[in-house]
Amino acid sequence: MIQGVYIMPHPPLMVPGIGDAALITDTIKAAREAADEIAKLKPDTVIVISPHAIVYRDFIYINRQPKLSGSFSNFGRRDIRMTFESDTDLADEIISEGEKEGLPIGAMPKHSFFDEDLDHGTLVPLYFIKEAYTSFKLTVVPIAGFAYSDLYRTGTLLQRAARNLNLNVTVIASADLSHKLTADGPYGFAKEGPLFDAKVKKCVESNDIRGLMTMDESFVHKAAMCGLPSIVMGYGSLDGYELESKVFSYEGPYGVGYMVARIMPKGGKA
């Protein structure tokens, strides 16, 4: 019941009026192409795997409030606010499957002191999806500081939960790649940055999941990325299926790598 996984970046400057996006028009075009494909899939629910939600080293908290909303007020666009109906049934099913699997996943406390607004890692991809399609519920799954094998296992829970509830689900792996691509970028340059992005792009093009999960930890750290855990978890949601993938675009003119890609089970939904 997982229709496919879309890897989408999340720089807020992709959203009109936030920043100068003149150098990433290919990324914006690709995001709209991905959104158009998702509209044709007509998912019941969209799961966004976000590295900028409330992230813990050893636990995944899923926000199951009935309404999930957020704005770009932190980026000068308070007027752009989006609200989505939460798929609380799917959230509960993921949590239940996590308990069976022995993975530390639970519901966000009802009276949490954390800001429950949706983060930009969730909002940016949804901005483009909502342009093309609005008839979906939303579940947000944060990443965690798990080993990549356990992030992959967490992804398998998404598949099982969707199947248990007989839902058509599209997964968004929200992911920026290296933040150290250029000397004049906000985070500076590291030689590992371009090498990391080239490796991730090649692995996605060939669906080399093992290659993604076994990169040297020091190499990944020096590349200063935020997206590999989301991508690995996304692949976990398609566990057990032959896969075909397409990279719509890749660019990094502002010093951060942005890739838009699609990973689908061969012959249709998983």
Structural domains in the chain, CATH included, are 2-265 (3.40.830.10)
- The pLDDT tens digits of the residues spanning 9-50 come to 999 999 999 999 999 999 999 999 999 999 999 999 999 999
Quickly state the pLDDT bin for 109 (edges 50, 70, 90): confident
* pLDDT, tens digit (0-9, with 9 covering 90-100), for 126-143: 999 999 999 999 999 999
pLDDT digits (tens, 9 = 90+) for 178-215: 999 999 999 999 999 999 999 999 999 999 999 999 99
Tell me the average pLDDT of the chain: 95
Looking at residue 115, its pLDDT comes to: 62
Distances (CA, A) of 71 to 16, 74, 78, 79: 13, 8, 6, 7
Interatomic CA distance for residues 34 and 29, integer angstroms: 9
What b-and-e string marks burial along 237-257, b requiring 16 or more CB atoms within 10 Å of the CB?
A: bbbebebebebbbbbbebbbb
The confidence score (pLDDT) of residue 110 equals 67
pTM for the complete prediction? 0.96
Give the pLDDT band (50/70/90) at residue 111.
Answer: low
Mean pLDDT of 68-74: 95
Task: Please give the Cα distance from 124 to 240 (Å, whole number).
Answer: 30
